[in-house]
Chains A and B, each alone.
Chain A
Amino acid sequence: MLKIEHLTKSFGAKKAVDDLTLHIAPGEIYGFIGHNGAGKTTTLRSVAGIQQFDEGEIRINGRSIRTEPLECKREMAYIPDNPDLYEYMSGIKFLNFIADIFGVSPQERKDRIHDYAERFELTADLAQPIAAYSHGMKQKLAIISAWIHRPKLILMDEPFVGLDPKAAHLLKEMMREVCDQGGAIFFSTHVLEVAEKLCDKVAIIKQGQLIRSGTMEEVKGDDSLEEVFLELEEDSSEE
């Protein structure tokens, strides 16, 4: 589904991502863990086709994001860490805009908006301007907009921030549904307990370099993910 090969991106003299290689297969929920500034957002933005990168290759279902960006983008959705949406639109206008861009038919979008908005308890607020939404409501709207065209790959940067417990639980269910239907999820998080329970695979990144990746069992063994993460952080600091 997603192949990241030797991804490298520098900002001036600083390497934000350094020779990163990751493969994500259909049906996998892949967690991406690292300290602040480790390179998670840069990686996700590169995969989403927002950030131009210096070296390496990113392929989505065999297509390169560099040479076939539109085809790649049609198959995925991206939710950033801060849901800065079009505040001058109402929630429903925004969802219709996204559906238009992805060519979702009127009936399908109506059904999906109805379904997701009901699940996230956002229906009553859909006619309100996004400017009047709270952070959590914006996050819910961003999630609905990401799901509206049924993408095969969903990229999310800290998706649980701002969500109430009920919405967070619902999002976890929806993530699993996507993977059960053959899709894949690649998301970053600082909440290691969530990653441990939810992810099939996990990658730990530090200062732009991948320091460990694999299935949850391979990465953590008998320890908790938190213990492994802190241990790896200390080890690489000593080196």
Chain B
Amino acid sequence: MLKLLVKKQLMEVFRAYFYNSKKNTSRSKAGIIVMFGGFIIIMAGVLGGTFAFLAFNLCAPLVEAGIDWLYFAVMGLLGIFLGVFGSVFNTFSTLYLAKDNDFLLSMPIPVKDIMVSRLINVYLLSLMYSIVVLLPSVIVYWITVPVTPTVILGGIVLLILIPLFVTLLSCLLGWCVAKVSLRLKNKSLITVLLSLAFFAAYYFLYFKAQGLLSDVIANAAVYGENIKGAAYGIYLFGRIGTGDLVAILLFTVVILALTAAVWMLLQKTFLSISTATGAVKKTVYHEKTAQQKTPGRALLGREITHFLSNPNYMLNCGLGIILLPALGIFMLIKGRELVEALESVFSFGAGVTTILICVALCMVVSMNDMVVPSVSLEGKSIWLAQSLPVRPWQVLKSKLMMQLLLTGIPLLFALVCVFGMIPDGVPVRILAVVFCLVNLLLLSLFGLFLGLKFANVKWTNEITPIKQGMAVLIIIFGSWIYCAAIAGLYLWQGYKIGPAAYLGILIALDGLFCVGLYLWLRRQGCRKFAEL
């Protein structure tokens, strides 16, 4: 039974890998291998590569200083942070909001089997995020020091138990969200605010960690002694990877005990939370004359209502709405110092700072990808958009407009703040503004293209299209790679032609891609939407 449920969960998560929605058929074996190959390249190649680079820089100095436990403590904590960051927001919905909860509970399936299958889903997601830090860390360590059986055992324990620890943390946080949300009226808003506080804390620690890591390498011995004296738990945690049997045993026992405690808590409350309807006071209806909207405005309003109704949607696809103005304000306060610092570092080429500012803005813009899952989020109610007297393009345009409005307005604010900081003449500044806006258009059109290409309206949990779809994965990593390429190309050769020509070429290229994508959306895209 459990095997069946786990298979169902995994089939749902990886549906796009097995099923070709375009042809309405199962993928061939070769197709499945290609899909999984692409996924592994992104996770192992891009993310894993970044952390392997960090591990190489950190491991040797700390091993030489005889405090290799500190290496594992740092990398382990990074793994925990990344894992919690990646899985905490979907644990609540995976456990308690899955649309097939009622269906499964009505069947002769033990409740614990349903819970275990959901938890395995959370564990695999935690594993996916934390392993990109942990696996390179362990391998780099095994390359750096002589490998003994206890060192191998320590590495394996870390690889298995840290994702389990992440799962436990995510479950506890998910349980807290579930308990609180049963009593809240404006659940979406409060969930978003709480989550943003979490994000703020996360990024604060993340940015502090950058400086701290450099400091740790420079003063390894001092830090080692201080942590060992003040936080013995972290010392022991770090000792696991080095093959300390006592630390391995203690960590395993603690994690197993925590697992048992969390399991008991979830088992006691799962049924009541997942079947609760909440005791929120009923909203009273007051009859009034509504303002008439055009179909276009009504469709746009529908998209924005959907976006604002779902904390998962807002948090996973709309962080840029807050971060763009935050970046603008940051630049107003610290911009001058930052620009001066960048100018002195990149003094070899004119316009590097301008390009880097554009890249920074584009990276934050890419955190808004609400258009990508918007097609799949139509879900079972897609019959409405298809049966109403509106053209497919009107529906698609409303999705595009949502992305452009919710990102364009914060972007314009950030551009106004940054405009004066750009250390080049007014023509280059104007080109920078145009480039950022064209890039937003490209991201939006490309997002809609991906949303249609990988459309999946047969989900049982909204988190599937929001977070676990191939389209979302491609847009996130694709835009990061694109931004990195723009900066890298300029630093490599682009500075020779100057920022104006470079930005001009980019605008022209982006514009061409926009035209191509627009034409595809108007023809094949509309057809695809009508046939979903």
The interface of chain A, by Cβ under 8 A from chain B, is 45, 48-50, 52, 69-71, 73-74, 78, 80, 82, 84-90, 92-93, 96-107, 109-110, 113-114, 123-128, 132
Contact = CB atoms under 8 A, between A and B. Distances in A.
20 contacts: A45-B383, A49-B387, A52-B531, A70-B391, A71-B389, A73-B387, A73-B388, A78-B383, A84-B381, A84-B383, A97-B301, A98-B388, A100-B292, A100-B293, A100-B295, A100-B297, A101-B298, A102-B388, A105-B292, A127-B283
Contacts of A74: 389
Nearest to B299: A101
B532 to A, nearest CB: 10
B285 A50 contact: no
Given A49-B387, A101-B295, 15 more contacts: A48-B386, A50-B386, A50-B387, A52-B531, A73-B387, A73-B389, A78-B383, A86-B305, A89-B309, A100-B295, A103-B292, A107-B289, A110-B288, A127-B283, A128-B283
B294 interface: yes
Nearest to A102: B389
B380 interface: yes
Interface string B263-286: 000000000000001000011111
Given A85-B381, A88-B309, A124-B285, A101 B388 contact: yes
Contacts of A126: 285
Contact of A106 (B284, B287, B291, B390): B291
Contacts of B107: none
B530 interface: yes
Contacts of A101: 295, 298-299, 388-390
A92 B310 contact: no
Nearest to A47: B387
B383 A97 contact: no
Contacts of B292: 99-100, 103-106
Contacts of A90: 283
A86 B306 contact: yes
A239 to B, nearest CB: 31
Contacts of B201: none
A97 B282 CA distance: 22
Given A70-B391, A110-B290, A88 B531 contact: no
B384 interface: yes
A49 B293 CA distance: 24
Which 3 residue pairs spanning A and B have beta carbons closest together? A100-B298, A88-B309, A73-B389
B498 interface: no
B277 A85 contact: no
Interface string B405-428: 000000000000000000000000
Given A74-B389, A89-B305, A128 B282 contact: yes
B335 interface: no
Contact of B284 (A78, A99, A127): A127
B302 interface: yes
Interface in B37-64: none
B525 to A, nearest CB: 16
A106 B290 contact: yes
Given A70-B391, A88-B309, A123-B285, A49 B383 contact: no
B379 interface: yes
Interface string B489-532: 00000000000000000000000000000000000000000110
Nearest to B282: A128
Contact of A48 (B288, B289, B294, B387): B387
